[in-house]
């Protein structure tokens, strides 16, 4: 499968085919074209420029280009772009669908565009390339008529890549000659000879991620396929009703949502901008995947002998789990220490936990025992929500699947072991630690927790995590650890291991 390349700025010198072998530079236009196209030296068209396409498609293009050009995250840049463009309702939903859908299917779209263009997508000028991706997504994955998708994309290319309209028209007309399944059948390796390659092209995931999912699912390729399909479906927004401030039933009534399937605090939001909800603005609820709620609840559900007053969140940013733990701590007479090494994320934690018995420390969680505010052997409950690849939330952050590489694993897993070891050291005898990652990769889950337990220098036992989750949850495996899945539970793929210091 062709890996997606960066987006970029319009530049001078394009031929009518939409690019050259150099793949584009970063200068943002020439003297003849700046005034006409509204380019500037920072890259991309001015937002004040008047695009030749409708606003939803223009905003989607700007968001996709920002992801590729600036390494931006769609969930951060798109809301601001929608507000600036004055898009609401169906127009905002269409722009959002084009943005996230294009990013989710990027690998397969690039493979198809390579075939349709007769050249690798890397040789297409970046602005034209991103426009073609959005056009191909409309043709293959939406109900937009092919002629409308082609026409609107050609208009977009005319705005961002003057001189490439004929090329764009020809490429997209070729894309429209087959549907998505037919293209996959033509371009994907055969399932019987290269199942990982077949799934990677068909369902638009890098091969190494498909392989890691299959391994975590015990080699079941049928279930791996269901997971990949679920990764490409837009997930619902999950809210967390903060205990003591509002319950899930009342929150569901207030926002027009539905109570969650498993977490007692979860509410499924049908749509809209959750940040505009009064319950969120007033701190009675926050946005949080139901899986994240479940693993935090599992920590406070574990039985303890002795005191239960000092809790620790060792990797607290940006504060979702700290907010839930702080709300529960307030009800149970406990106090939470939330640790975050990055100052800007520590400020987010402080904001998320305002009004709860929470102390926020801006420090490295690995300093347990060396920092007087992080004493060794004194905490009753510890959460280690470790930094990870985030492979469990690809449906929410689709650009991550193209940015992460296998080479990211060694430094991450070393950090995970160090943080979990510090969390174990922070426990008093009899205390419990929950190790959590938003990744099902076995190196980040079973290997990390097993190695940390072996090397930590204090005796620990695994606690069966399954009874700490709501009764009746399907597909929790044989224990003692738990792996949640989008296709089984409707949550992000959260991993949970619970250990007790003996």
Catalytic residues: 438
385, containing H or E segment: strand 379-385
Q: How many C-beta atoms lie closer than 10 Å to residue 84's C-beta?
A: 11
Residue 407 CA to residue 435 CA, distance in Å, equals 22
If we measure between CA atoms, which residue out of 439, 421, 348 comes closest to residue 384? 421
Residue with tokens 């390494």: 71
| Residue where the block lists tokens 């074209």 | 33
| Residue recorded with tokens 């106090």 | 335
The answer to whether 29 and 361 are in contact (CB under 8 A) is no
For the chain, state the CA radius of gyration: 24
The DSSP code sequence of 163-194 is T-HHHHHHHHHHHTTS-HHHHHHHHSPPTTT-
Q: Strand 482-483 vs strand 495-501: parallel, antiparallel, or unpaired?
A: antiparallel
- One DSSP character per residue, 12-53 reads TT--TTS--TT---SS---HHHHHHHTB-TTSSB-TTS--SS
- Residue 427 bridge partners (DSSP): 379
- What is the rounded CA–CA span in Å between residue 310 and residue 359? 11
Helices (H), 191-309: 195-203, 207-216, 221-231, 248-255, 278-281, 290-301
Signed CA dihedral, 396, 402, 403, 408: sign only: positive
Q: What are phi and psi of 217, to 5 degrees?
A: -95, 20
Please give the structure tokens belonging to residue 373: 């505010």
Q: What is the DSSP string of 439-465?
A: ---TIIIIIHHHHHHHHSSS-EEEE--
Burial-class residue 202 by CB neighbours within 10 Å (0-12, 13-18, 19+): buried
What angle do the packed helices 448-455 and 409-426 form, to 10 degrees?
A: 50
- Cβ-contact 432, 487 below 8 angstroms: no
Q: Is 260 helix (H, G, I), strand (E, B) or coil?
A: coil
């Amino acid at each position: 499968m062709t890996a997606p390349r960066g987006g970029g700025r319009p530049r001078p010198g394009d031929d009518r085919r939409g690019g050259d072998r150099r793949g584009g530079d970063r200068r943002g236009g020439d003297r003849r074209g700046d005034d006409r196209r509204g380019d500037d030296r920072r890259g991309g068209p001015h937002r004040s420029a008047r695009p030749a396409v409708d606003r939803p498609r223009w905003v989607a293009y700007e968001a996709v280009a920002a992801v590729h050009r600036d390494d931006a995250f769609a969930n951060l840049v798109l809301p601001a772009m929608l507000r600036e463009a004055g898009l609401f309702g169906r127009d905002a939903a269409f722009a959002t669908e084009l943005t996230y859908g294009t990013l989710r299917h990027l690998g397969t779209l690039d493979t198809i565009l390579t075939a349709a263009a007769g050249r690798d997508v890397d040789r297409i000028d970046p602005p034209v390339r991103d426009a073609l991706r959005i056009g191909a997504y409309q043709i293959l994955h939406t109900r937009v008529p092919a002629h409308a998708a082609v026409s609107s994309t050609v208009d977009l290319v005319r705005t961002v890549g003057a001189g490439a309209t004929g090329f764009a028209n020809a490429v997209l007309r070729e894309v429209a000659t087959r549907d998505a399944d037919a293209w996959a059948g033509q371009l994907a390796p055969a399932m019987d000879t290269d199942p990982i390659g077949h799934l990677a092209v068909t369902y638009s995931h890098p091969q190494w991620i498909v392989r890691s999912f299959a391994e975590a699912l015990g080699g079941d390729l049928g279930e791996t396929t269901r997971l990949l399909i679920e990764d490409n479906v837009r997930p619902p927004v999950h809210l967390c009703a903060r205990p003591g401030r509002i319950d899930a039933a009342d929150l569901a009534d207030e926002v027009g949502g539905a109570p969650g399937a498993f977490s007692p605090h979860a509410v499924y939001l049908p749509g809209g901008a959750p940040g505009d909800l009064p319950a969120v603005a007033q701190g009675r609820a926050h946005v949080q995947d139901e899986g994240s709620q479940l693993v935090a609840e599992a920590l406070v559900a574990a039985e303890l002998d002795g005191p239960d007053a000092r809790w620790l969140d060792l990797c607290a940013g940006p504060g979702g789990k700290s907010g839930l733990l702080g709300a529960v701590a307030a009800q149970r007479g406990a106090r939470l220490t939330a640790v975050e090494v990055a100052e800007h994320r520590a400020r987010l934690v402080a904001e998320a936990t305002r009004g709860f018995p929470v102390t926020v420390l801006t420090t490295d969680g690995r300093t347990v025992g060396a920092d007087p505010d992080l004493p060794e052997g004194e905490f009753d409950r510890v959460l280690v929500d470790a930094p990870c690849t985030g492979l469990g939330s690809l449906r929410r952050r689709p650009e991550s699947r193209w940015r992460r590489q296998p080479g990211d694993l060694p430094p991450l897993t070393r950090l995970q072991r160090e943080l979990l070891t510090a969390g174990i050291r922070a426990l008093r005898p009899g205390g419990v630690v929950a190790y959590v990652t938003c990744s099902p990769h076995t190196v980040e889950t079973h290997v990390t927790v097993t190695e940390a337990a072996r090397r930590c220098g204090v005796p620990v036992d695994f606690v069966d995590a399954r009874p700490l989750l709501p009764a009746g949850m399907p597909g929790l495996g044989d224990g003692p650890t738990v792996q949640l899945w989008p296709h089984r539970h409707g949550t992000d793929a959260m991993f949970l291991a619970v250990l007790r210091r003996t």
